[in-house]
Amino acid sequence: MSTRSRGCQSMREEAPFVRSQTPGANGVKNYTPIERANLALVRTVYDEVLEPLDPAHVDRYFRPDYIQHSPMAETGAAGLKAFLVWANSVSPDAHHDVKRMFADGDHVIAHVHVVITPGTPGVAVIDIFRVEDGLIAEHWDASQELTGRSANNNGVF
């Protein structure tokens, strides 16, 4: 397994439930079957599309009219494909390490450590995906450059 793939495996080793502000009886959110399917879809998107920066599977997981809110890519599946081709050409060794994921109805939120250039601290990213009919329909993101400096010892992840 390549270094790229190893980071995406970390989320799979965790329990199928993610701690939430709205816990069930056991202190863990009990996801609905649709939320579980949405989490699995987004996990697969990281593994097959975002981590390898590979546009080949975009049509399998994204609606053609996919709405992109990130200023980095044009809207639509074609815009995402073009972004992935560009990103892979300038950062072929980029790596995504999904730290945690949450689902709330048709939305999945992922907290991700992205290292664009190996050996650098990278970026903390929050990705928000909206799922419709089993496909990614919409995406938002926010990022924070990691500098290695902090006013506390809590860490960003």
| Structural domains of the chain, with CATH | 3-145 (3.10.450.50)
Mean pLDDT of 77-93: 97
pTM equals 0.82
| Pairing outcome for strands 107-115 and 95-104 | antiparallel
Q: What pLDDT band is residue 25 in, cutting at 50, 70 and 90?
A: low
Please report where in the chains the tokens 């949450």 appear, as a residue. 102
CA-CA distance, 85 to 148, in Å (whole number)? 30
Q: Which residues lie closer than 8 Å to 105 by C-beta, 6 or more apart?
A: 34, 35
DSSP code of 56?
A: G
pLDDT at 69 over 60: yes
Which helix (H) or strand (E) element contains residue 102? strand 95-104
Tokens of 75: 């809207």
